Amino acid sequence: MGADRRRPAVGDEVRVSAADPDAFRRVPGYLRGQVGVVVAECGYRPLPAGFGAGEVLRAPEPVLTVRFPAAEVFPDTGRGAHVHADLWLSNLEER
C-alpha cells in the first residue's frame, strides 16, 4: 500500500482483496473479492501477521467497518440483511 493512497470515507464503495496471502491477514475467506460500503472508521490499529507464537504486529493502519449485502455473501440469506466487518485498509482495494 502506497503512503499516498487515499483513505476511503464513510459512504465509499470498497472491494476486499481477493488475494490469499501466506501470512494470516485477518480477512474471512467468504469476504475476499466482495464489494461493500464503508460505514464507520475505527481508528488506527496494529495489523497482526503470522500465526500463534510467531505472530508479529505491523505498524498501525486505519481500520474501517464495511457493510456487505448478506445475500451477496451468503446467497441463501434473505434480502435486506447485512454483514459487517472491521477490516484493515491494506486488505481493501479502491473502486
Rounded to two decimals, the pTM is 0.84
18-77 residue pLDDT tens: 887 666 667 888 999 999 999 999 999 988 877 666 677 888 999 999 999 999 999 888
Burial class (CB in 10 A: 0-12, 13-18, 19+), 92: buried
Find the angle CA(87)-CA(23)-CA(39) to the nearest 5 degrees.
5
